[in-house]
Amino acid sequence: MTGLQLEHVSKFYEEGGHKIAALQDVSLSVEQGEFVAVIGPSGSGKSTFLSIAGALLQASAGTVSLNGKDLSGLNAKELANVRLKDIGFILQTSNLVPYLTVLDQLLVVKKMAGKITKEDKAFAKSLLTDLGLGSKMSKFPNELSGGERQRTAIARAFMNQPNIILADEPTASLDSKRGHEVVQLIAKEVKSRKKAAIMVTHDERMLQYCDKVYRMEDGQLSLVSI
Ligand code: ADP
């Protein structure tokens, strides 16, 4: 089975002797080529959900599998490897390294996973060109607009050709036009390269680009629309 599957996932936090259920019996399957949105109020469990789906946090109960591989049996090093190789994260702010050029922001990902080949460089350049950054490759983050920075972060998320894309409010720091552009680009990559993608968003206007919309409320996930 490819893609990402969560089955009966719960997450409990202990706080001051109280047990908080941040996620309660959440099940979800995202196939390759599918773009799913998760909406819901603040405090409903969206970040916890994305952290568990992204192998950053272990579930208290239930199973998470990625391309058929159960994550619960993996140790910290193996989980770090899954995050590096199989998952591309796109966060609210672009989190670029200030002293690296646009091209190097992508190549440094390869460096972490091994060493940089000629093919890696060519792939980085083609990704940046696809994302409209062909003329910005030697610029530094402070020379880019907010939208360009976020597109660089998207290119970086795709650099290791991960199967799974997890986006946490990717439009939060962008104006409406740039926001649409960024989510359209994610949708295009999901379709053309057959990624499984989940986007947490507050922005209802972005739901038109998604195949399914789920709502998180009090730690429970329900399907809103297909
Ligand atoms: P959202 O992303 O939708 O705002 P979160 O996943 O951050 O929701 O939080 C879900 C619930 O879990 C909230 O009640 C929050 O206070 C609680 N929570 C989140 N992280 C922790 C933590 N590390 N320790 C204790 N409680 C937490």
CA distances from 207 to 47, 70, 107, 138, 221 (A): 18, 30, 31, 34, 16
How far, in Å, from the CA of 178 to the mean position of ligand 1? Answer: 29
Q: What is the spatial distance between Cα 2 and Cα 83, in angstroms, rounded to a whole number? A: 16
The residue nearest atom 16 of ligand 1, judged by CA position, is: 43
- With 0-12 / 13-18 / 19 or more C-beta atoms within 10 angstroms meaning exposed / middle / buried, residue 192 is exposed
Q: Ligand 1 centroid to 57 CA: how many Å?
A: 12
In the chain, domain spans: 2-224
Q: Is the CB of 10 under 6 A from ligand 1?
A: no
At 210, list the tokens: 């998604």
Write out the E strands in the chain: 4-15, 18-30, 34-39, 61-66, 69-70, 87-90, 164-168, 196-200, 212-217, 220-225
Phi, psi of 117 (to 5 degrees): -105, 170
Give the nearest ligand 1 atom to 23 CA.
10
Q: Give the distance (Å) from ligand 1 centre to CA of residue 212.
A: 24
* Mean pLDDT per 10-residue segment, the chain (226 residues): 92 91 97 96 94 93 93 89 91 88 93 87 94 95 92 91 92 85 91 95 93 97 88
Mutate to test the pocket of ligand 1, among 47, 49, 57 (most ligand atoms within 8 A of CB): 47
Q: Write the residue with the smallest CA distance to atom 14 of ligand 1.
A: 43
pLDDT of 207:
95
Architecture field, domain 2-224: 3-Layer(aba) Sandwich (3.40)
* Exposure b/e, 9-38, CB count within 10 A at least 16 = b: bbbeeeeeeeeeebbbebebebebbbbbbb
Residue 217 in contact with ligand 1 by CB distance below 6 A:
no
Supply the residue whose CA is at minimum distance from atom 5 of ligand 1: 45
Question: What pLDDT is stored for residue 226 in this prediction?
Answer: 66
Q: Whose CA is nearest to atom 12 of ligand 1?
A: 22
Q: What is the pLDDT of residue 176?
A: 87
Predicted pLDDT at 211: 96
Between CA 190 and CA 182 the distance in angstroms is: 12
